[in-house]
Chains A and B, each alone.
Chain A
Amino acid sequence: DSGVTQTPKHLITATGQRVTLRCSPRSGDLSVYWYQQSLDQGLQFLIQYYNGEERAKGNILERFSAQQFPDLHSELNLSSLELGDSALYFCASSAPRDLSSNYGYTFGSGTRLTVV
């Protein structure tokens, strides 16, 4: 157990629908990162939050949004889903100094989204 919890583990939904993925970071970590992993695109950075505020944006579609709550858990909202959104979505967390001194990121086990 890495300490980063993602729910649900699997999600199957239809095109056009909206889903919410949830992430609880490792205890004490203030930063949360969302990544999308697909066979053709590899591991793509979507968005980062730090202590409730958006810090960096990557290749995140406008149909996707995220937020980090006061208890530091984060949710990734995916709407108007398309077949191409089927992927593994990872959440990772880090403490402020982790990229310099420690393990970089700690990853959750991911949510596998299948859009049918």
Chain B
Amino acid sequence: AQSVAQPEDQVNVAEGNPLTVKCTYSVSGNPYLFWYVQYPNRGLQFLLKYITGDNLVKGSYGFEAEFNKSQTSFHLKKPSALVSDSALYFCAVRLMNSGYSTLTFGKGTMLLVSP
């Protein structure tokens, strides 16, 4: 089945350290991949996307993600974490459903950045 997976329920990192939030996908064809962030009591906000081209994608708030076709991964990264980055992060993949595309989300990874 086509899907996206986030293997970690929670990631803990100290402020100033690099962070990685993992995502793997299983789709046929070329994947369209997205990262979204959800702050408490808010809707999901777009961070970045990979459609085609450069495997390293830069997004909002200093985040970037690396598309790795051989490992079917799209991990989210940031060189130096901030306490304000603490939030719930979702990886998503475009899936075709009866000829129309929808986004399917992973279960989410809670990122906690400690001061």
* A interface residues, Cβ below 8 angstroms from B: 2, 4, 33, 35, 42-43, 45, 48, 50, 55-58, 90, 92, 99-101, 103-110
* B interface residues, Cβ below 8 angstroms from A: 32, 34, 36, 41-46, 49, 51, 90, 92, 94, 97-98, 100-108
Assess the B44–A90 pair: CB atoms within 8 A: yes
- B108 contact from A43, A45, A103, A105, Cβ within 8 A: A43
Assess the A4–B92 pair: CB atoms within 8 A: no
Assess the A56–B102 pair: CB atoms within 8 A: yes
Query: A107 — nearest CB in chain B belongs to which residue?
Result: B43
User: Closest CB-CB distance, A6 to chain B, in whole Å?
Assistant: 8
Q: Give the chain B neighbours of A108 by CB distance below 8 A.
A: 43
Assess the B49–A42 pair: CB atoms within 8 A: no
9 closest Cβ contacts across the A-B interface? Answer: A107-B43, A42-B107, A56-B97, A43-B105, A103-B46, A107-B44, A55-B100, A109-B43, A104-B34
